[in-house]
Structure 1
Amino acid sequence: MEDINNSYLSFKIGTESFAIHVSRVNEIREYEEPRKMPETVSFMKGVIDHREEVVPVIDTGVKFGMNPVQITPQTCIVIIDVTREDTNSSFRVGILTDAVTDVFEVEESEFKQIDTDYSPNYIKATCNINDNFYLVLNSDKVFSINEIIGMGDMIKQISK
């Protein structure tokens, strides 16, 4: 089995390139229209069925303060695992991407840290691989505790 310790999945949101550790990626799916949910946060597009589980789909462009993801034939939903730090429980979220681009290897020593005064806490670091600049995500910090609780409560209501 291939060692995944230094493997990252890269994807585009607008013109920016992001990366996430492959151990956090559950599945990459072609885009499907999520079912709309009433009274949700602005970045939540709706929910999809994923292996008999209801998964919220997040417009990462809106969540990250960028333009919304434009739906094209390259649009993907990346199902990621997120761990709640307060309870150490995990759940899945689908993040919309303009395109999934690559899987690459990078050593932690090649990461460049960004001062937290200049970046959101969910950007773990940056790296430059083959002349491509990536913002590396910490999937566990993309959502606030209140957002996680809200999504969890919504999923529980749907699943009843």
Structure 2
Amino acid sequence: MEQNTVQSRRERYLTFFLGNEQYGIAIDQIKEIIAIMKVTHVPKTPPFIRGVINLRGLIIPIVDTRLRFGMDAKEEDMNTTIVIVEVDKVNVGFIVDRVEEVASIDSSHMSEPPKFGNKVDTEFISNMAQIGENVVMILNVFKLFEVDELISLDKMQQHTLMGE
């Protein structure tokens, strides 16, 4: 007897919180997770770009994820973490309130994000996942930035590396 079932697959995601909202990023996009450290401000950058850090000789632009998502800024505490991902060959650090876990999520527990109309941009949410009682928004890190923002992040990394 042959079964005709759709094969579901499990993928791993780092889950983290911003306020009470839980988000996830595919584990294969994450380069490193570090404790919050001193961030050097870079003039003439958008408010959500906190500045840069020097991590073992690499200059990495740091994004305040709360500000990027239109949330209020929050005082850093012992749970504040920087999640470093690679976006279009540029390493970018995202400040998050707290990292939760690496969750293995079955594709059958994923659904498309709701559509809120033309005025609400949810392109950066690739899926919604159900983990227990929580709904986790799975982020598409490539869509968190516009092309010109990525170019300026790359330039910020290059100029700071060259000491300009």
Q: Fold match, TM over 0.5?
A: yes
The code of the aligned residue for 2:142 comes to D
Verify the 8 A CA contact 1:57 1:95 in the aligned structure 2: yes
Offset of residue 109 of structure 1 = 2.7
Alignment correspondent of 1:102: 101
Q: Which runs of 5+ in 1 are unaligned?
A: 84-89
Query: For this pair of structures, how many residues does the alignment match?
Result: 151
Cα distance between partner residues in 1 of 2:112 and 2:121: 10
Alignment correspondent of 1:11: 16
Alignment correspondent of 2:51: 46
Cα distance between partner residues in 2 of 1:95 and 1:69: 14
Verify the 8 A CA contact 1:70 1:98 in the aligned structure 2: no
**What per-residue deviation string (whole Å, max 9, x for no partner) do you get for residues 40-78 of structure 1?**
111011101123211001000000111224301100000
Describe the SS at the equivalent of 2:157.
helix
Describe the SS at the equivalent of 1:106.
strand
Offset of residue 108 of structure 1 = 2.2
The code of the aligned residue for 2:161 comes to S
Offset of residue 119 of structure 1 = 4.8
Cα distance between partner residues in 2 of 1:152 and 1:66: 25
Alignment correspondent of 1:140: 142
Q: 1:71 aligns with which of 67, 76, 82?
A: 76
* 1:27 and 2:26 are equivalent in the alignment: no
Describe the SS at the equivalent of 1:56.
strand
Describe the SS at the equivalent of 2:111.
coil
Verify the 8 A CA contact 1:111 1:127 in the aligned structure 2: yes
Describe the SS at the equivalent of 1:109.
helix
Alignment correspondent of 2:85: 80
Describe the SS at the equivalent of 2:151.
helix
Describe the SS at the equivalent of 1:6.
strand
Alignment correspondent of 1:152: 154
Offset of residue 82 of structure 1 = 1.1
> Which aligned segments of 4 or more residues in structure 1 are displaced greater than 6 angstroms?
none
Q: Provide TM-score, normalisation by structure 1.
A: 0.88
**What per-residue deviation string (whole Å, max 9, x for no partner) do you get for residues 74-98 of structure 1?**
0000011112xxxxxx111000000
Describe the SS at the equivalent of 2:156.
helix
Identity of aligned residues (%): 28
Q: Which runs of 5+ in 2 are unaligned?
A: 1-9
Cα distance between partner residues in 2 of 1:13 and 1:135: 11
